[in-house]
Structure 1
Amino acid sequence: MLNLIACEWLKWRNSRMLWLVLLGALLPGALGFFIQLNNSGAFEWKGLFENNLFILTMLMCPSLFALLGGYLFAREFQERTVNNLLTGPHSRNQVLIAKFIIAVPVLFSVILLSFLLTFGTGFLFTSEMPTLSVMTTIIGKYGLLFILEYALLPIAAAVALLWRSYIPAMGLGVFAVVSELTIMQSRFIMYYPWSVPLNLVTNMSPAHNTTSIGVTTMLIAFVVPLLFIGLYFRRADVHSG
């Protein structure tokens, strides 16, 4: 199993998608910098981090994570190497587990790099360190964001495996962002998987911020496609095309 994980990691590290991790961290940080630059009010560490969280949650994570997740799970189909993967010494369940494990550092690195970039950007506006209270709260929100966005990974993986390409997963990410912009303004914000993180992390709609509903929505969004992936991948043939 460790050999399989190491193999998946090497394939990821040598892929062109690695640059998207850097881009995914850089763009929200740059947008946050320009927002703060045009802010006439007094600088606040909390405001700087919350702007970054808002951009990540609303725009970057839904689209980028769907693309990265789709690529992780459908790469072998597109490169026509799935025969080697599915006929190897490891079971198909182990292959899936290895891919989900590799997705943890891949997705987490986007959020971590964006946090570090935002932290560094803050010193362009002030020489004071953020308070312990602010850092504790903000780190908790970044951690929550990662957990919620990771819970959406099986949806992108299911789409990619079903069509045997990461392109539909990329389309899913774009659809998620566009639809989220509409639903986040409605009372259904906690019933839609891609808008739940926005409300739980940034409290976008306090009147509808019911944690129990949001958690239930995310559990369904995680478990149902995960079960589908397990059944579909076990029965998938080894035809690469």
Structure 2
Amino acid sequence: MGGGTDPGGDDREGAPPEARVVAARALIQGAVACRGSIEFEFEHDADGAVDFNDRLVRWLGDLGLFAAIEPLEAALLETPVGSIPRSKAIESTWACEGMAILAWSLGRVDLPSHDQLVDKFAVADALGFLGDDARSLLERPALRPLDELAAYREFCYDVHVRLRGRLKGRKPLARPIETRSIERLPLEKLRIVVREDLAIDGRPIEECVDRRVAEVERVTHHRHRASIWLVGEHPLYTETPVDT
């Protein structure tokens, strides 16, 4: 399992991935998140968890996605059910945040709020995850315009910088979130900036407790990686650096 090259893709750094590559990547992100969740199901229903994992692997094979699975993902998916360390299983479930951004780029879901967890089941359903509808997604995908994807990448960078700065006790920049990226995205109704600073739950970030800021930072980390990969800044998704 796992060849490390998305089918039909272009491995040159700087070349944005084609729509079918993004569709395959979205489904694989869903598989990674699902595999993490299966590990926790094993604690309550070992046989059911193994059966579910077998179904997941068969589905990936039926869609011809094994060649698009990167080495780090292959190692996870090939690990026997019940053998993944708890911390790694938890981290794997966060892949649903990247999946949501890839699904948005394919026009399957709305852009999620910057400070809220996605509904992973709704996103998975929109992609046809574990079903036959995923085949039509792979056969006829369409991406949003590159300038819109680039605007989201800029927005995600700004949000991530502010979140990490807050956790490290740094003072905010004069304009922590550039309005030009917000204006180019369907974000007008969201309360992103309050009193000239990034907002979480409708309040300036400085008024939020560290635990809540850290949660939003983790959400943003996975979405930021997806946004960087979408504009072609790194060929391998799992090795895409998320710098701020």
Please state which band the TM-score falls in when normalised by the shorter chain: under 0.3
Q: Give the TM-score normalised by the residue count of structure 1.
A: 0.27
Larger Rg: 1
More relative contact order in 1 or in 2 (CA 8 Å, sep 6+)? 1
TM-score between the two structures when normalised by the length of structure 2: 0.27
